[in-house]
């Protein structure tokens, strides 16, 4: 039996948590290896050989080394795809279905996450570094997020999930950052969107998501 | 014979040009349909039904409608993949190869393009709207681009292309924005990176890329 795959980086990082949700969804065996940012391990030669940008996660499966969380997620979901398609979260092999997953995953990466990330930086990161949040940036970003959620609300009126009536990576990829966002006062931006809220409740009820949420929270309070 | 696929949006838009390069690479039959932004056609019900964010491109293949340029590009490359793999620009069916294409495509989308886009907005868009470019934003963005190019230079010392020794979507996806960037004074940021410059010259010598470059330039001067 081959050794378990390795994820380098703590579950508290949203990009790491994205990969962990995929590994949990497919029931893969894996180990998480922390990277010591205080000791600048992320800028050391070993980690830069795994992730040339010095970021987390990095991922190892035997001789294969990967980086970029959505690329790793795709790899995990392809590698552990069940033969009957029951856990085909990419719709691999389905030309139209996979295109819809790709489209909504790009929406998450290029429209949803930049808005949520900007709020997170202003509300959590800058104060932690002794700075003052820029309320204009927060307002602009919450406004952009509202526009994205309007599109989601309309899409979820047509389908149970973003890329159709079955859950996919496009939905799950929203989990890590939204988990943190829902603990901020700006979470009220979700209130006018009942279908989005129901979709979120559905996602966080999944065993894989609950397990990774606990890992994220344990790391942040630890 | 089925009607050709339709791309909605002008070739002058980098996200449209990305899709056109893929269609040209695989030799697909297609038609380009302009969207009249002055008449606010992009915010009209017909276009919003194709692209809920009111952006370009949108894409139609029979009953299938798609948006997000990299998702459309993946669809095109999967649909027209040659049986012998000679134009498999995604390395579809190759678990490790496709993961490397995914990783470097995510680098392009999430690290390279944001830096180039920010310079483009300051240098071209804001002056066209009567504003003054923010030199600090330009300086920060050129600095981020330089860091990305350092990683590319090291990667291209190991492989001829970003995701290995054969060209892939990860390389081609850089073309549209870089085509515009190379016409700006900030293009000197590429000068210290001879392997990146050779990679770029190699890309722009491809017949598909030359054809789309001419379409982009015709639209901008037209």
Chain A residue numbers with beta carbons less than 8 Å from the beta carbon of B70 are 102, 106
Q: Are residues A118 and A26 in the same domain?
A: no
Last residue of a domain, one of A53, A79, A105: A79
Which pLDDT score, from 0 to 100, does residue A81 have? 82
Q: Is residue B86 part of a domain?
A: no
Give the Cα separation of A215 and A24 in Å (integer).
12
List CB contacts (< 8 A) between B96 and chain A: 64
Domain count, chain A: 2
**Contact B47/A at CB under 8 A:** no
What residues in B contact A71, CB-CB < 8 Å?
Answer: 99, 102-103, 105-106
Listed residues A39, A54, A79: the one ending a domain: A79
Q: With an 8 Å Cβ cutoff, are A109 and B107 in contact? A: no
Do B105 and B200 have their domain in common? Answer: yes
Best of A102, A144, A153 to disrupt the B interface by mutation (most B CBs within 10 Å)? A102
Predicted confidence band at B137 (pLDDT cuts at 50, 70, 90)?
A: very high
* A16 plus A110 within the same structural domain: no
Handedness of CA B17, B19, B20, B24 (dihedral sign): positive
| B72 and B107 both lie in a single domain | no
pLDDT bracket for residue A3 (50, 70, 90): confident
**In this complex, is the C-beta atom of A107 within 8 Å of any C-beta atom belonging to chain B?**
yes
Contact B102 A53 (CB under 8 A): no
The verdict on A48 and A100 lying in the same domain is no
Is there a contact between B95 and A72 if contact means CB atoms under 8 Å apart? no
pLDDT at B221 over 60: no
Q: What is the pLDDT of residue B1?
A: 61
Q: How many CB atoms lie within 10 A of CB A165?
A: 8
| A24: pLDDT strictly greater than 50 | yes
Q: Given this model, what pLDDT does residue A221 score? A: 54
| Interchain CB distance below 8 Å, A151 and B52 | yes
What's residue B220's pLDDT? Answer: 60
Instruction: Please report the pLDDT score of residue A168 as a whole number.
Output: 97
pLDDT band at A222 (very low <50, low <70, confident <90, very high): very low
Q: Do B197 and B121 have their domain in common?
A: yes
Sort out which chain A residues have CB atoms less than 8 A from B164's CB and list them: none
Which CATH number covers residue B69? 3.40.30.10
The answer on A24 and A104 residing in a single domain is no
Average pLDDT, chain B: 94
One domain, residues B99 and B139: yes
**Candidates A78, A109, A151; nearest CB to B109:** A109
| Mean pLDDT to the nearest integer, B187-208 | 98
Give the pLDDT confidence score for residue A178 in this predicted structure. Answer: 98
Q: Give domain status of residue A185, yes or no.
A: yes
Is B84 inside any structural domain? Answer: no
How far, rounded to the nearest angstrom, does the alpha carbon of residue A45 sit from its chain's CA centroid?
26
Q: Does A103 touch chain B (CB under 8 A)?
A: yes
CA gap A89, B157 in Å, rounded: 35
Chain A residue with the nearest C-alpha to that of B104: A68
Q: Do B78 and A96 touch (CB under 8 A)?
A: no
Does A139 lie in the same domain as A109? yes
Same domain flag for B43 and B141: no
Nearest-CB residue to A106 (from B70, B95, B111):
B70
Task: Provide the CATH number for the domain around residue A200.
Answer: 1.20.1050.10
Q: Is the dihedral of CA A207, A209, A210, A216 positive or negative?
A: positive
What pLDDT does A119 receive?
97
Task: State which residues form the domain around B56.
Answer: 5-79
A87 lies in some domain: no
Across the range A42-60, mean pLDDT stands at 94
The predicted model gives B195-219 an average pLDDT of 96
pLDDT band at A78 (very low <50, low <70, confident <90, very high): very high
Q: Do A100 and A197 belong to one domain?
A: yes
Q: Is A67 on the interface with B (CB under 8 A)?
A: yes
Closest alpha carbon to A35 in A26, A43, A27: A43
Query: What percent of chain A is predicted at pLDDT more than 90?
Result: 91
Q: pLDDT tens digits for B39-93?
A: 999 999 999 999 999 999 999 999 999 999 999 999 999 999 876 666 789 999 8
A67, A110, A155: residue with CB nearest B52: A155
What is the pLDDT at residue A220?
60
Residue B88 included in any domain: no
Whether residue B117 sits in one domain with residue B26:
no
> Does a structural domain hold residue A182?
yes
E strands, chain A, in order: 5-8, 30-33, 58-61, 64-67
Q: Each residue of A167-212: pLDDT tens digit?
A: 999 999 999 999 999 999 999 999 999 999 999 999 999 999 999 9
Residues in chain B: 222
Q: Domain for residue B87, yes or no?
A: no
DSSP letters for A12-67: TSHHHHHHHHHHHHHT--EEEE---TTTTGGGSHHHHHH-TTS-S-EEEETTEEEE
Query: A181 at the B interface (CB within 8 A)?
Result: no
**pLDDT score at B14:** 97
Distance from CA of A141 to the nearest CA of B (A): 16
pLDDT tier for residue B127 given thresholds of 50, 70 and 90: very high
């Amino acid at each position: 039996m081959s050794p378990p795959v390795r994820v380098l980086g703590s579950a508290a990082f949203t990009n790491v948590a994205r990969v962990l949700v995929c590994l949990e969804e497919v029931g893969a065996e894996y180990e998480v290896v922390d990277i010591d940012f205080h000791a600048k391990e992320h800028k050391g030669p070993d980690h830069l050989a795994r992730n040339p940008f010095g970021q987390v996660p990095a991922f190892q499966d035997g001789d294969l080394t990967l980086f970029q969380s959505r690329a790793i997620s795709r790899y995990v979901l392809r590698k552990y795809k069940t033969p009957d398609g029951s856990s085909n979260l990419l719709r691999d092999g389905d030309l139209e279905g996979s295109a819809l997953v790709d489209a909504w995953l790009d929406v998450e990466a290029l429209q949803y996450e930049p808005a949520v990330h900007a709020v997170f930086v202003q509300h959590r990161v800058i104060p932690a570094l002794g700075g003052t949040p820029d309320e204009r940036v927060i307002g602009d970003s919450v406004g952009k997020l509202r526009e994205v959620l309007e599109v989601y609300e309309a899409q979820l009126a047509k389908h149970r999930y973003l890329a159709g009536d079955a859950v996919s990576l496009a939905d799950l990829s929203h989990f890590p950052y939204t988990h943190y966002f829902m603990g901020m006062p700006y979470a009220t931006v979700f209130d006018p969107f009942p279908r989005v809220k129901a979709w979120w409740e559905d996602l966080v009820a999944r065993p894989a998501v609950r397990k990774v949420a606990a890992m994220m929270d344990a790391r942040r309070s630890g």
